[in-house]
Amino acid sequence: MSVKLLSADALRADLETIALTWPDGIPPQQQDRVNAIKSELKRRGEPTERPPGSPAPAPAGPLDAMTTEELEAELRALSTRNDDASQTRFANVRFELRRRASAKTEEAPQQPQIPPRALEFPTDDEVARVVPRRPAVPAPKPQAQARPLEKKPPATVCGYTATGRQDGSVVLEYEILSDTGSVLTARVLESEQVDDFIAMMTAARTRARKMATGE
């Protein structure tokens, strides 16, 4: 029966019966009812302990012919007695209540177990709804073409060799080859003379190209 339909005395009696039936520890299947009873008594502002001096009646009879409510009432009454006969009856009543509670738990419908694969692997449709679409990766920017390396000046041209010195002058050397040997001629050109020499050679090259092309 729902705890909301029971009186406060009946709720406290249930708590006492459960504690007497399982003095060594309340099983998990009874712990939910204990929590529900305590919550309901707290909501009503009622104490969880039964007032002293109000023992429940203790009907006696064959255990299998008594209802669960009658057995619970007798168990509570027997808990206040210390004689051997009462203690023996108390143990028998408690055993019967435990047996009925265990049988009731076994008869309760079991929740269907979900196959492990259904727990571990969601369907493709569920994955498609949950997994966000990966953003498009922008195309890499084309790398700038490397600047062509400057042409390394030649070490010698037609036998001429030019060498720079620390004072800014240039040594112009020219090797003349003949059948009898070679003659090396050197000339030092100052900085201004080097500029004039380059200008002279550039002008001569320009004239030669114009004559070659007929311009």
Residues 6+ apart with CB under 8 A from 182: 175, 176
Give the three-state DSSP class for 176: strand
Quick one: pLDDT at residue 145? 63
Residue 189 near residue 167, CB atoms below 8 Å: no
Average pLDDT, the chain: 76
More confident residue, 95 or 102: 95
To 5 degrees, how large is the angle CA 48–CA 53–CA 54?
A: 65
pLDDT computed for residue 65 by the predictor: 82
pTM, whole model, 2 decimals?
0.41
Q: Residue 18 carries which side chain, given as an amino acid letter?
A: I
What b/e readout covers 115-154, taking b as 16+ CB neighbours within 10 angstroms?
eeeeeeeeeeeeeeeeeeeeeeeeeeeeeeeeeeeeeeee
Question: At residue 8, what are phi and psi to the nearest 5 degrees?
Answer: -65, -40
Residue 59 has pLDDT above 60, yes or no: no
Give just the sign of the alpha carbon dihedral 11, 14, 16, 22. negative
- Looking at the chain, the whole-number percentage of residues with pLDDT higher than 90 is 0
Instruction: List, for residues 104-117, the tens digit of each pLDDT value.
Output: 776 666 555 555 44
For residue 56, what pLDDT is reported? 47
Mean pLDDT of the region 9-20: 84
Beta bridge partners of 184: 175
> Which of 12-16, 37-41, 140-144, 193-197 has the weakest average pLDDT?
140-144
Share of the chain above pLDDT 70, in %: 71
> Which pLDDT band holds residue 198 (cuts at 50, 70, 90)?
confident
Q: Are 85 and 26 in contact (CB under 8 A)?
A: no
Residue-wise pLDDT for 122-157, tens only, equals: 566 655 555 555 556 666 666 666 666 667 777 777
Q: CA–CA separation, 1 vs 155, rounded Å?
A: 111
Least trusted range by pLDDT, from 64-78, 112-126, 153-167: 112-126
Of 43 and 157, the structure prediction assigns the larger pLDDT to 43
pLDDT in the model for residue 186 = 76
User: In 10 A of CB 17, how many CB atoms?
Assistant: 22
